[in-house]
Structure 1
């Protein structure tokens, strides 16, 4: 065999430039970049070294042969011509991977089969011995790449992908591959920072991949030093003595590196479930002396071991898969930006994100950006120097203030120089000053964000006297007042519930996303609400019972007050909260009219109207709904106010329940869904089609002199005219709209219906 071989090093898309630098440094010659690969020439020693030391490659492929092919027969004979007895035993195992298409081969499975047939036929003995297939741990892993009519046949020296270092047996929901994490660290300047004795902190460390890769770089540990099974282990061309020499050299370098004083490398993770898996990964990597992982929120992490230590803050924040998810993560990125500004002055930072728009909301400029791919997801690496000149939040500073900050930063960076050498531009000595207490900065709003904040404050002021007079605890403060900011914002005591309406298709999604972020940045400031108490959801056109279906499972309830009653709302788990704010006037009307009456609440949802009726002195209340979940919620609302007695909850299809009922009621409230096709009911309910039957059935249960209130929020709803011929019908919509819904007169329609 030749002393030099052609090698292909494969890697994730976007890492080619870094990989070629690394590979050349490890001895690869005549190196050239390809898509997701690097090609070059090397000795066997370099090939082994690349397997052992490459932090970025996925595989090291040793090219056995290149040959032209026009069809499947050319492929078969080209592979057959190789002296396979020089590479594996007759009864060994192999696996074949095939990539590319053309030359009559458009199915990779078929291509792999032809390669396998040629190898097996070449090695088959007269006694019938032949290689067998083992896809998991074969003696030889063969790869054939078809490229523009040329077949490139290679031996995979790696075996399993080189990113699988062996320490990460436990991982989080969306971990970075180890070689991508290493690439991000290298691009972030960590090798330089580590060589200078710098620290590293990851405020969202997950199971510690950045931490382990960083420590291996700092301690000069070959990333695959602990790997036991290689693609060349059973290869007949393997040179064990050469491999042993290189492996021993790497072991000596690792021992020397670990003997050094460990660098300060720390990880912080909010999810307690990931702490132990992360620590287990660190222990398996043999780096427990170098790495510590603690539980902690981003908003509270403190990376500095002491005032003089500097280093790198690196993290991979969650991105969100939908616009609504991204919006809800805005405050996480803002918290990260605040901690960088407050606790990491003069550090460097690297934020790897699939949502660059969120990265822009950290309130600090990146001086460089690099494109990467995390699988199929395009991502950006934002490199940041945490210096006051890079901050884009807080108060604007004069040039004089900036100069003072630069001078103080210079003093902090050289604390051991003689004091007489520290002078400002005027020749005056800079006096050392104690570090000031961190100032919590409010993010500076964009022009659009400030405009939105002004509108919120104007609305808040306009509603203030009414809210105070009525003792209202939860109300709507904004409802798409400005068309370009299409959302509804409700206050629930000291929480904010934001519902983003889906933008029309004519609106550029990027502009809609940017406006949403502007609005979310403005809300906490304008409403003087803790940003951790802002809940964001996306509302789209709903069908069936989708708006009532569970969206999350946090189970967190908030107690609010309305008209002297306490009600439970859930701001996170469902699209709606359990309290329709626009029905507040109707609930208050029911409370005033309920004294001594038998009250019936149909399609009761969480029975808030029933609680008001009980508060108003109703003789009894009956609440009917198909959902057990909402009836349980209704039971909690009634119990919270001490109204468990004389208040009946009935689970069932309202139409069927009315047909079976023979009871009489003095006051009835119906707020039906627009459409329902629940599996628990017979047929399908359509409010426009079924309104007459529903109202007739309910009126049959109404006692003489009783009142039925009927409402719904279907924008196109029209009450059947013939109902007015049989009953006394009065449109009371205008009377059921409070000031917070005055701009949206179509939020619902309401009628008062009585017997003639």
Structure 2
């Protein structure tokens, strides 16, 4: 009986072995990333058509010597290729592995191709041509040590390509991985007892379509028109046709008993794609797709079923900061809408599992391509205690703050403000509202002491997230969560993600671009609002210099206030570009306003001849960069920095020096020649009144 090997993704070999046994294979034995088996050709054909898990089905011709290129060539020539490759057939060679003599797979594939072509040319007088995309016969070589396993690929293409998916989203699940998830979750048993299948973040619909194919007893390969076995010289068309006829009969019977399924997604584009994919699979009448945010889900009509989903992960979503809130929202929705159901959640970010607020009773490791994922299995219990009751103190405080600070912000013409600033020790959070064209919430959790129980802290955070979404009336897609730890070397400016999504907010007549996902901060320091207002009020007719300018918001205010010229200096090109976009957004950019990418200390030394009337100096607490000579420590270096600024300050000018180092002490003796006024209290806004140490600010001028 011929020997075969079915390849598969890591972690599902046991499932594939069970499937092959059910399809009629014998001597089934699992290996890494696949399963070996014996079968007659009818069973081998059935595996190609019916396997939901295999990637390829390889007919093994045997192992041959491959000590070096010459021995590989002669060994391949010893096999009877005329028995497998017909006249005028095209071929392709897939070559995997290497040894000491053969280190390049392309070279190995070339030697195998040469050996086959030379044998056939000698026997027939003609040689086959190579077609790497769609050959009649695909030969598979796996090199291990000094041997090569030689096979004919009866599948011809990866069997995950069922034929129904012409469009897909970012980083989609392969169809055979989706089938493995459903089998791990026990979907066939749920379907057999009449349960339903739902996916609240369905993307292009793969999990639901695979679930429907499974429940309706539809062969996953029925839509594929061509397999590798069709171009093989020993192909038996009668066997294949009988299998196709049987599969069509089973499909027609299965569709009549298929229970309705449901898929939701927040993206209208994904819903359109999912509907089109289901239509191509012949399932559009059996799966209901609708655009719906997690928070908008209604309780399931069915009392029994499986909820299965693959939430976005950092690499796919880009907005890493949004993920904890998304997971929390998913957990709340499951308890609210799917009590009594089972859930299977595939996550590429297992550390986010606690945000679901549910304990997984088991988990499996699966691989989505190279990404190691966890499949979490949960039994969904109804949420018996209201979240606002669990976090009553936090809820009450936040509700009062929203009412008081919201009224204040509207009066001041402010779109963005802090509504909660670690008011309660148990909820050590900073919550910032950014209204703009749509409300967004920037949420930061301050690092807890090691003495705090991690599970209790997680439970409190989960409750707080739910309260925040409820009271601030936002969905999970509008809340960005970050954990704020002690800063080391300017890490607050390091990039966290690559979403690149910027939003426009307003502040007393100025408009600023903010980014909630890509950095620890958003591009707008809310506590500096009074400082920016002061600059705007004092800028009329004054030449303005902005050092460590970040995103240039102070420059916008100075130019808005009448500064005839400005220089904006920062070491980051990203932030300088951002600063220029902020000026353009306010229609204030022209040639009188310069943007300089430079180390500020070096720039001060190189520009002593220049004069400015108003200077804003807001250095980081500590910074180290490849573009700097050494490091910057604001406590150690502030005297040197201030002297450098005062060398450029006109006689009647003023320097505003700000720092957020809480233990900062200005060196009065080292700066005795200047007039220094501590204006910190005047620059703390209403929404930071509980935290007057958020920054220190000094007005410095030349002594009279």
Alignment of 1:196-207 (within 5 A): 196-207=193-204
Quote the RMSD (CA, aligned, Å). 5.0
Whole-angstrom CA distance in 1 between matches of 2:318 and 2:169 = 22
Unaligned runs of 5+ in 1: 396-440
Post-superposition Cα deviations, 1:667-707, rounded to whole Å, max 9, x if no partner, equal: 6544467889999xx9999895983675245422x43xx54
- Residue 492 (structure 1) shift: 5.9
Do 1:598 and 1:621's aligned partners in 2 also have CA atoms closer than 8 Å? yes
Equivalenced residue count is: 671
- Residue 524 (structure 1) shift: 5.4
Q: Mark the CA change 1:133 to 1:716 in structure 2 (over 3 Å): closer, same or farther.
A: farther
- 2:159 pairs, out of 159, 162, 165, with 162
The range that moved more, 175-184 or 282-291, is: 282-291
Counterpart of 1:48 in structure 2 is 45
Counterpart of 2:573 in structure 1 is none
Rg: which structure is higher? 1
SS in 2 for 1:232: helix
SS in 1 for 2:343: strand
- Are residue 625 (structure 1) and residue 568 (structure 2) matched? yes
- Residue 53 (structure 1) shift: 0.6
- Residue 142 (structure 1) shift: 1.3
- Are residue 331 (structure 1) and residue 325 (structure 2) matched? yes
Do 2:265 and 2:271's aligned partners in 1 also have CA atoms closer than 8 Å? yes
SS in 2 for 1:205: coil
- Residue 362 (structure 1) shift: 2.3
State TM-score, norm by structure 2: 0.78
Q: Mark the CA change 1:444 to 1:455 in structure 2 (over 3 Å): closer, same or farther.
A: closer
Post-superposition Cα deviations, 1:344-392, rounded to whole Å, max 9, x if no partner, equal: 233332222223343333233434322222122222222333344xxxx
Q: Mark the CA change 1:714 to 1:648 in structure 2 (over 3 Å): closer, same or farther.
A: farther
Q: Mark the CA change 1:135 to 1:462 in structure 2 (over 3 Å): closer, same or farther.
A: closer
Do 2:559 and 2:566's aligned partners in 1 also have CA atoms closer than 8 Å? no
Unaligned runs of 5+ in 2: 570-575
Q: Mark the CA change 1:694 to 1:126 in structure 2 (over 3 Å): closer, same or farther.
A: same
Q: Mark the CA change 1:206 to 1:103 in structure 2 (over 3 Å): closer, same or farther.
A: same
Do 1:476 and 1:581's aligned partners in 2 also have CA atoms closer than 8 Å? no
- Residue 33 (structure 1) shift: 0.9
The range that moved more, 266-275 or 669-678, is: 669-678
- Are residue 699 (structure 1) and residue 649 (structure 2) matched? yes
- Are residue 602 (structure 1) and residue 546 (structure 2) matched? yes
- 1:362 pairs, out of 336, 341, 356, with 356
Counterpart of 1:398 in structure 2 is none
Do 2:504 and 2:512's aligned partners in 1 also have CA atoms closer than 8 Å? yes
SS in 2 for 1:287: coil
Whole-angstrom CA distance in 1 between matches of 2:591 and 2:624 = 23
- Residue 201 (structure 1) shift: 1.6
- Are residue 522 (structure 1) and residue 464 (structure 2) matched? yes
Counterpart of 1:343 in structure 2 is 337
- Residue 290 (structure 1) shift: 1.8
Alignment of 1:494-643 (within 5 A): 496-499=441-444, 519=461, 521-522=463-464, 525=467, 529-530=472-473, 532=475, 534-537=479-482, 552-559=499-506, 570=514, 572=516, 575=519, 576-584=521-529, 586=531, 594=538, 600=544, 602-603=546-547, 624-625=567-568, 627=576, 629-630=578-579, 633=582
Do 1:605 and 1:634's aligned partners in 2 also have CA atoms closer than 8 Å? no
SS in 2 for 1:329: helix
Post-superposition Cα deviations, 1:125-169, rounded to whole Å, max 9, x if no partner, equal: 378522332221122111122446543221110000111111111
- Are residue 226 (structure 1) and residue 226 (structure 2) matched? no
Counterpart of 1:276 in structure 2 is 272
Whole-angstrom CA distance in 1 between matches of 2:362 and 2:661 = 51
Do 2:394 and 2:427's aligned partners in 1 also have CA atoms closer than 8 Å? no
- Are residue 750 (structure 1) and residue 692 (structure 2) matched? no
- 1:708 pairs, out of 642, 646, 655, with 655
Counterpart of 1:265 in structure 2 is 261
Counterpart of 2:289 in structure 1 is 293
Q: Mark the CA change 1:669 to 1:144 in structure 2 (over 3 Å): closer, same or farther.
A: closer
SS in 2 for 1:277: helix
Whole-angstrom CA distance in 2 between matches of 1:238 and 1:299 = 54
- Residue 182 (structure 1) shift: 1.0
Counterpart of 2:387 in structure 1 is 442
Alignment of 1:66-465 (within 5 A): 66-67=63-64, 70-89=67-86, 91-102=88-99, 104-125=101-122, 129-147=126-144, 149-258=146-255, 260-302=256-298, 304=300, 307-308=301-302, 310-321=304-315, 328-388=322-382, 394-395=384-385, 441-442=386-387
Q: Mark the CA change 1:52 to 1:492 in structure 2 (over 3 Å): closer, same or farther.
A: closer
Post-superposition Cα deviations, 1:248-291, rounded to whole Å, max 9, x if no partner, equal: 22122223333x15421221111122222222212222222222
SS in 2 for 1:113: helix
- Residue 545 (structure 1) shift: 11
Whole-angstrom CA distance in 2 between matches of 1:526 and 1:246 = 57
Post-superposition Cα deviations, 1:53-96, rounded to whole Å, max 9, x if no partner, equal: 11110111111123465554443333222111111136532222
Post-superposition Cα deviations, 1:422-458, rounded to whole Å, max 9, x if no partner, equal: xxxxxxxxxxxxxxxxxxx32897xxxx8xx979989
Do 2:325 and 2:481's aligned partners in 1 also have CA atoms closer than 8 Å? no
- 1:15 pairs, out of 8, 12, 15, with 12
Whole-angstrom CA distance in 2 between matches of 1:149 and 1:548 = 47
Q: Mark the CA change 1:712 to 1:362 in structure 2 (over 3 Å): closer, same or farther.
A: closer
The range that moved more, 151-160 or 286-295, is: 286-295
- Residue 332 (structure 1) shift: 1.8
SS in 2 for 1:280: helix
Do 2:355 and 2:458's aligned partners in 1 also have CA atoms closer than 8 Å? no
The range that moved more, 136-145 or 110-119, is: 110-119
Q: Mark the CA change 1:588 to 1:70 in structure 2 (over 3 Å): closer, same or farther.
A: closer
Post-superposition Cα deviations, 1:479-501, rounded to whole Å, max 9, x if no partner, equal: 7998x999765566886433468
Whole-angstrom CA distance in 2 between matches of 1:489 and 1:717 = 25
SS in 2 for 1:536: strand
Do 2:504 and 2:511's aligned partners in 1 also have CA atoms closer than 8 Å? no
Do 1:71 and 1:105's aligned partners in 2 also have CA atoms closer than 8 Å? yes
- Residue 41 (structure 1) shift: 0.9
Whole-angstrom CA distance in 2 between matches of 1:341 and 1:39 = 43
Whole-angstrom CA distance in 2 between matches of 1:129 and 1:596 = 88
Whole-angstrom CA distance in 1 between matches of 2:298 and 2:249 = 35
SS in 2 for 1:125: helix
The range that moved more, 23-32 or 186-195, is: 186-195
Whole-angstrom CA distance in 2 between matches of 1:141 and 1:276 = 36
